[in-house]
Amino acid sequence: MTHQHTNDLIHETSPYLLQHAHNPIHWKAWSDDTLAEAKDKNRLIIISVGYAACHWCHVMEHESFEDIEVAQVMNDNYINIKVDREERPDIDQVYMNAVQLLTGSGGWPLNVVALPDGRPVWGGTYFKKKQWMNTLEQIADLYHSNPEKLYEYASKLEAGIKSLDIVNLNTDDVKFEKSVIDIAINNWSQNFDYDKGGTNRAPKFMMPNNLRFLLRETYQNNHVELQKYVNITLTKIAFGGIFDHVGGGFSRYSVDDRWHVPHFEKMLYDNAQLVSLYSDAYLATKNPLYKEVVYDTLDFIKRELTNTDGTFYSSLDADSINQKGDLEEGAYYVWTKKELQHLLRDDFTLFSDYYSINDYGFWEHDNYVLIRKDSEDIIIQKHNITSEDLKEKITLWKSLLLHEREKKERPRLDDKILTSWNALMIKGYMDAYRVFNEEAFLNAAIKNAQFIIHKQSKDEGGLYHNYKNGKSTINGYLEDYAATIDAFIAVYENTLDNTWLRHARNLTNYVLDHFYDDASKLFFFTSNKDAALVSRIIEYIDNVIPASNSMMAKNLFKLSHFYGNSAYEDMAKTMLHNMLPELKKYPSGFSNWMDLMLNYTNNYYEVAIVGENAKEKVCTLNKTYLPNKFIAGSLKENDLPLLKNRFSEGNTHIYVCVDKACKFPVSEVDKAINLMT
């Protein structure tokens, strides 16, 4: 049933859509009914995409979508659809591609005008009220006077959008050479900022996957210059205002080039991946700063983004209510000098040196964003204080400021649960558990993994994408499967509980049945059970989150080793081989693919540990950074190809194998490590 003159968003569960439920615009959610109505009435559609933590989305809402004049233009001429990009990444990608073709850039809010059949004809990101109204009036006039022109234009644009999804098969012989990665890194490093870390630009995004690949490459291949760059980047990010020194956790990006003033929203997916990154970085360097970052971030996740049932919320907004009662960006996180002097009293001088309550840490309007400049050693010498005393003071300061901050109005929470992002957080917890052996980390991961199995899985084997108010909705996307399979493999490698490996394999087979594209040998983003959009997208470029295809290729690679499955192995190879022509041109968009490629260019070790002490040995083995290995293990007789017939009562043996050829078994972990280094 369709309502003619109301805002329908009040019936939705997405916090972002609910934020718009009281606009004077007759918003509808994306649905078959809404699209059918546009066709029946032969009306143009406005598709407006954003998300709850998006600052400019709120600005445009306030300026335009809450305005009666704007509402009149939109309601009189258009069917208006509001989309939460996190709930519907498939819709977001199709229209984002259109806007990038039209304007050369994209972002959110994303605003598109489409024909009644959903094909886009015009679009952009943020618009001021006047410009927005004028354009909408012009397009509506053109649609009445000369609709053929818009239809002709839509066909050209549609062809352009579809061409973006064509991945050409690479017909050269399959060979993966280390020199390709070296050339890619050489090209890429022209943009590195060796002084402040990250890339040579502002704003600065952390891109955890890029750094994780570079960390692996530099330590696995002893690339000393690059090791310095990776560690400067990780240190500067951890020192920066982009890291919340009071409550832990990271914001999305910094608006300047020194990681100081963030866009203050905190996203689950960034924090999940940064926990994984800093855990491995600690393993490779034993730098205590990296360990603190992991523990502080997981404290934040537990305190602010975890539901009582163990599920993880999506994000916290950048904006919160300030003392004047207005929504202001960063209001929750910033401090004035006066506040800090009052709170810290005699400690203020030391505190202000440590966290730069000076020109370096100043932001605007009397506000400071905490940022570190000097190492603890420098502070200790300068203030003639012991390391223990300084650590005690920092702990005290943090709890004091956190307590004070919690008196303020909190930023708005997006409390929907997304399967893909929850799976990234399981992986984060598992990586932290692997490195720090903290039981609480394992428990948090298992609790959430159980949630995915019991609540987000369908009887026919598929997954749901979204969960809110006890209800699972929206058919899963490739990202949900890719991230969940990866997470479940990590749970298996650390617990040796076969159930998780079986779940991972079953989900993989489901993906092969419902997402595989024979033409490109890659996977579509949407299932063949979903309604068709303008184009069926193939997501293969790594971004802030790795591409669902690169994650899937890695999953197939690992599962091929666990199960001795040559079909999986061939698929992973073909997928990676298809990316080779792109890789050198745009390395930062293919870092997860290059990470997979290192499995082929260097030795990749299969480690099988069998016997009653297998778990302890896995634990010990994990204390060394060996990114080019995976672990299969069992406490008793097991049928997995790597473990079969390898159990012997009273002994625990470690087998190190390369390319299906195994070295003689050893029982000491350090001997096994010697076989891999």
Task: Assign residue 550 the CATH number of its domain.
Answer: 1.50.10.10
Q: Where does 515-565 have alpha helices with state H?
A: 548-563
Structural domain contains residue 170: no
Q: What is the CATH number of the domain that holds 45?
A: 3.40.30.10
Structural domain contains residue 37: yes
- The pLDDT score that the predictor gives to residue 677 is 87
Looking at the fold, whether 359 and 451 belong to one and the same domain comes out as no
Structural domain contains residue 543: yes
Choose one of 407, 424, 440: the last residue of a domain: 407
Looking at the fold, whether 260 and 193 belong to one and the same domain comes out as yes
Structural domain contains residue 171: no
Determine the Cα–Cα distance for residues 199 and 258; give it in Å rounded to an integer: 10
Look at 284 and 326; give whichever has higher pLDDT.
284
Rounded percentage of the chain residues whose pLDDT exceeds 70: 99
pLDDT of residue 67 exceeding 50, the answer is: yes
**Cα 30 to Cα 46, 318, 544, distances in angstroms:** 11, 26, 26
**Strand locations in 519-652, DSSP E?**
522-523, 605-610, 629-634
Look at 596 and 531; give whichever has higher pLDDT.
596
pTM of the entire predicted model: 0.95
- The pLDDT score that the predictor gives to residue 659 is 84
DSSP annotation of 306 reads B
On average, the pLDDT of the chain sits at: 95
- The pLDDT score that the predictor gives to residue 227 is 97
What 3-state class would DSSP assign to 668? coil
Choose one of 407, 432, 462: the last residue of a domain: 407
Looking at the fold, whether 483 and 584 belong to one and the same domain comes out as yes
Structural domain contains residue 172: no
Domain extent, residue 74, equals 8-164
Looking at the fold, whether 278 and 245 belong to one and the same domain comes out as yes
Structural domain contains residue 2: no
Q: What is the CA angle 436-442-447, rounded to 5? A: 160
Looking at the fold, whether 494 and 592 belong to one and the same domain comes out as yes
Strand pairing partners for 123? 112
pLDDT of residue 131 exceeding 50, the answer is: yes
Choose one of 556, 584, 601: the last residue of a domain: 601
Determine the Cα–Cα distance for residues 510 and 120; give it in Å rounded to an integer: 32
Determine the Cα–Cα distance for residues 296 and 224; give it in Å rounded to an integer: 29
Q: Are 578 and 169 in contact (CB under 8 A)?
A: yes
Q: Where residue 4 falls among pLDDT bands split at 50, 70, 90?
A: low
Strand pairing partners for 124? 111
Sorted by sequence, the CB contacts under 8 Å of residue 663 that are 6+ apart come out as 655, 656, 657, 675
- The pLDDT score that the predictor gives to residue 201 is 93
**For 448-455, which contacts have Cβ atoms below 8 Å and span 24 or more sequence positions?**
448/310, 448/311, 448/312, 448/422, 449/487, 449/488, 449/491, 449/500, 450/310, 451/309, 451/310, 451/311, 451/422, 452/419, 452/422, 452/423, 452/426, 452/484, 453/503
Determine the Cα–Cα distance for residues 205 and 203; give it in Å rounded to an integer: 7
Q: Are 329 and 367 in contact (CB under 8 A)?
A: no
Looking at the fold, whether 427 and 525 belong to one and the same domain comes out as yes
Q: Where residue 373 falls among pLDDT bands split at 50, 70, 90?
A: very high
Structural domain contains residue 626: yes
Structural domain contains residue 327: no
pLDDT of residue 3 exceeding 70, the answer is: no
pLDDT digit string, tens, across residues 418-474: 999 999 999 999 999 999 999 999 999 999 999 999 999 999 999 999 999 999 999
- The pLDDT score that the predictor gives to residue 445 is 98
Looking at the fold, whether 138 and 236 belong to one and the same domain comes out as no
- The pLDDT score that the predictor gives to residue 1 is 39
Q: Are 262 and 202 in contact (CB under 8 A)?
A: no
Average pLDDT estimate for 159-175: 85
Average pLDDT estimate for 216-245: 96
Looking at the fold, whether 401 and 423 belong to one and the same domain comes out as no
- The pLDDT score that the predictor gives to residue 2 is 43
pLDDT of residue 559 exceeding 70, the answer is: yes
Average pLDDT estimate for 625-650: 94
pLDDT of residue 229 exceeding 80, the answer is: yes
Looking at the fold, whether 545 and 443 belong to one and the same domain comes out as yes
Dihedral sign of CA atoms 502, 603, 428, 476 in order: negative
Domain total of the chain: 4
Q: How many CB atoms lie within 10 A of CB 605?
A: 20
Looking at the fold, whether 543 and 636 belong to one and the same domain comes out as no
Looking at the fold, whether 315 and 454 belong to one and the same domain comes out as yes
Looking at the fold, whether 477 and 595 belong to one and the same domain comes out as yes
Average pLDDT estimate for 314-320: 94
pLDDT of residue 167 exceeding 90, the answer is: no
- The pLDDT score that the predictor gives to residue 376 is 94
Give, rounded to a whole angstrom, the gap between the first and last alpha carbons of the chain: 66
What 3-state class would DSSP assign to 535? coil
State which H helix or E strand residue 540 sits in.
none
Determine the Cα–Cα distance for residues 72 and 83; give it in Å rounded to an integer: 20
**Among all chains, which residue has been given the structure tokens 């079969």?**
644
